[in-house]
Amino acid sequence: MPKKRRVFDFNPRGHIPVWARVERMSDIAWIVENWPFFWPLARELDAEHGRGAFIVDTIIRIPGAGHPFAYLDQKMINEVGDPDAQRMVSQYVFEHELVIILFKEDRVSTYRVNAEAVAAFRAQAEPQPGSEN
C-alpha cells in the first residue's frame, strides 16, 4: 500500500497551541474553498505585475461578494515590512504556488500555498464512489 503523503504540516517547528491549529485548519479550508477563484487570477496578475500576494480582509464580509481583497506586487509587499510575507513572496514557485495573507482582528496569517497540495486536499474531501455520505 503506498504511503500517504502529508498535504499540510501543522507542526513544523514544535508545539502549536490548539486555538492556532483550529484557526490554521479553518484558514486552509477557506483557501481550498476559494482556490478556484484565486488560482487563475494569481496566474493572470503574476504575469501582468510580477511576484506578489493576495491580501484578504477577513474581518469584513460583503453580502454576495465575500471578503475584500487586493493583489500587492513584490515591491508593495516589501514596503509593508512583514518578513514572513517578504520571504514567501520572494521564494514561491510561480507555476505551482501563490501567497495569501489573511488580515484578522488581532493578527495576520500568511500562507504559501501549493496547487498540488490543494488538489490533494480537495480530492480527499470529495466523496469517493461507493462510499456512504
* Per-residue model confidence (pLDDT) at position 126: 73
What percentage of the chain carries pLDDT values higher than 90? 70
Mean pLDDT by 10 residues, the chain (133 residues): 47 72 92 94 95 96 92 96 95 95 94 94 76 56
CB 84 within 8 A of CB 103: no
Closest CA to 39 of 68, 10, 71: 71
Tens of pLDDT, residue by residue over 54-82, are 999 999 999 988 899 999 999 999 999 99
